[in-house]
A and B are shown apart, each in its own frame.
With several copies, the nearest count.
Chain A
């Protein structure tokens, strides 16, 4: 079923950094349609600071996740600071002291991250937020993992669900966050947080899949 070592797992964070950097403009454009157009800027600033802080160091996954979380909480602010801050923080907390990360542990990491975001943001599926990507993706991973399928196939299911979840936001009316004030007029475009969450989950999945090989 596979696992990868925490020691080499920082590659996951590297992948997150890269995918956000490459998509910063795209994310701001999405946010511009019904938000204030800064989502890519916010995310890019966070990952680029993490990149700088991690540069030249060889740390494990837990440490890299903590670094990203600290920057989110201390320096980023916005909605993303607390939301992704808590997301990466729970992942770091669950994986702390674990040498090997298997599907079961990763499932715990995902679930704790999901729960904390729901707690701080008080949003739910259907509200047109990153949760519309995250919750179905976590559930899809869990279903495969509980069914005893391989780590890699659970990751593949997570990716597919994340993409579907992201796309589901197009037809939603925003219920929380900046765009919620638009009511019906927020319908018809992607949610920025759902898009970034999808990019991040897919980048994580891809880099774990590589680590598993």
Chain B
């Protein structure tokens, strides 16, 4: 394992410790070592935004803590949901008395831990409502949205929810905006190499050199098809074709596009993919209102890429346009 780690069982602890040291101006620790919060949180009068999930997805999740973004994050082990206690402590760190929007991804562990954390919060009188991201198209048929995973589309959900909260939205309004964001978002991933959880020491799945796995999940969950590796243009076509009919997106739509690397794929290659994606969207008369390319939501050192497209209306445009200051997403007001 060619890794920069100390005790493989303590990578999350060591990482959090370095993250806090590095970003003192933006992020603060809390009593719970697995919970980080925006330095200003809780912000008086504002709904708190919380998320959480397994580690290994840098900059997700803690990298999206910040201004007009997420107020507190519960960090789990690598690829494993944070504990109920961690979610609960994150709720407390984010709540200023206006309630908490817990915006997270659809994974069994997260669902259970959030459910238990909400029971604990209820006893404390903290109002918590949730939006569960399920943007990953290949993870289940359209008829079973409750089985679909949340992937990089979560970033758009946080952006929209975080912006609505910053604009003074009530808990129900924040939930509505975040739900609208994810309901209008679709994603798909392609995996090119497996990844290794440091404590495991070897990959727990394989992708044969010369092949690619379409629809792979953020933890290496198997995709829907393994084929010979294709050109960037063919990959882009494969991804766009899977996403567009699912919402469906239609001619005349304005969209936000996010191409994220899975960790070890050079950003150069992500731009090569994006080049074709935008071309294909233009052919369908779908115009890109905002675009993001880079390692926004990764899976350790996996090679591969995800494509996320969100259909925008006036409200979502306003929310996407808002200034944001987090490690993973910094955006100036135009």
Contacts and interface: CB of A to CB of B under 8 A. Distances in A.
A81 B84 contact: yes
Nearest to B108: A177
Interface in A13-58: 28-29, 31-32, 34-38, 41-42, 45
A199 B112 CA distance: 23
Contacts, number: 111
Contacts of B116: 73, 82, 120
Contact of B140 (A31, A45, A82, A181): A181
A5 B221 CA distance: 45
A181 B219 contact: no
A178 to B, nearest CB: 6
Contacts of B81: 77-79, 81
A177 B107 CA distance: 7
Contacts of A34: 222
Contacts of A78: 54, 76-77, 80-81, 109
B107 A75 contact: no
A26 to B, nearest CB: 12
A147 to B, nearest CB: 35
A36 B79 contact: yes
Task: Summarize A's interface: helix, strand, loop or mixed.
Answer: helix
Contacts of B112: 79, 81-83, 120-121
Interface majority SS on B: helix, strand, loop or mixed?
Answer: loop
Contacts of A32: 200, 204-205
B78 A74 contact: no
A115 B331 CA distance: 49
Nearest to B116: A82
Size category of the B interface is 35 or more
Contact of A38 (B79, B84, B85, B217): B79
A98 interface: no
Interface in A82-105: 82-83, 85
A36 B83 contact: no
Interface string B137-157: 001100000010100000000
Contacts of B200: 28, 32, 37-38, 41
A38 B78 contact: yes
B15 interface: no
Contact of B77 (A35, A41, A82, A177): A41
A37 B113 contact: no
A37 B204 CA distance: 6
Given A79-B112, A120-B112, A181-B217, A37 B197 contact: yes
28 contacts: A28-B200, A28-B204, A29-B204, A36-B219, A38-B78, A38-B199, A41-B9, A41-B200, A45-B9, A45-B77, A72-B83, A74-B83, A74-B84, A77-B76, A77-B109, A77-B113, A78-B77, A78-B81, A78-B109, A79-B81, A79-B108, A82-B112, A82-B113, A177-B108, A178-B107, A181-B139, A181-B149, A181-B222
